[in-house]
Amino acid sequence: MSAGAQDDGAQDAGAQDAGAPLADVVAPRPVVAHERVAAGRIFDLVRDVVDLGDGEQVTREYLDHPGAVAVVALDDAGRVLLLRQYRHPVRSELWEVPAGLLDVAGEAAQAAAARELHEEADLVADRWDVLVDFATSPGATNEALRVFLARGLRPVAEAERHTRTEEEAGIEVRWVPLDEAVGRVLSGDLHNPSAVVGVLAAHAAAAGGWASLRPADAPWPYRRGTLPP
């Protein structure tokens, strides 16, 4: 490749960098019609007719989901807490991080995460930070998921522990060095999205001296009820 061609490539890259910021933006299109196709116990199947502009309208069906939180619990030895739980839709026992639905009206996300850590792992944490946010499957559902980093861990008193039922009754708990958990993700041994995203995010944040962490009450524009209708 000639030096001139290299210069042209650099100029093209610079032109791309001058475009829109590399950050997701809430930019709703008008919803012309909305209906609930089917009601579920946790989420509904809904159908929207969306105006994309220039006279083009499309129909989109998706799961209307309350959202969820997950917790990467990291102990003083650098180990992450993983739980094994049966997940029927994929007919598998998956290793996961503590997680749960945002199904209590008005509950702060961090409070929900603390509740899940208490109920699923018998732990409380003295320090909470936002590790990462993601949309689980934005082409199919509006589910937004926030992953917290919990540190300064302490066990829940025996008398205050939650009685787990259904799939949670068989939860197996294991503490895994963070580096090993990363290796399990990359080798294809772990598949739960909260665990995959949370473990990799924790590893990256640790490598950066935790500078990327956000306050536990950091803005979350994609949580349901925050987005425009």
Backbone phi and psi for residue 90, each to the nearest 5 degrees, phi listed first: -105, 5
DSSP state of 159: G
CA distance 171 to 95: 10
User: Residue 180 catalytic?
Assistant: no
For residue 172, which amino acid is it?
Answer: E
Alpha-carbon distances, residue 138 vs 57, 100, 141, 144 (angstroms): 19, 19, 5, 9
CA dihedral sign, ordered 80, 109, 112, 66: negative
Catalytic residue among 61, 167, 168, 180: 168
Q: Are 100 and 68 in contact (CB under 8 A)?
A: yes
For the annotated catalytic residues, the residue numbers are 168
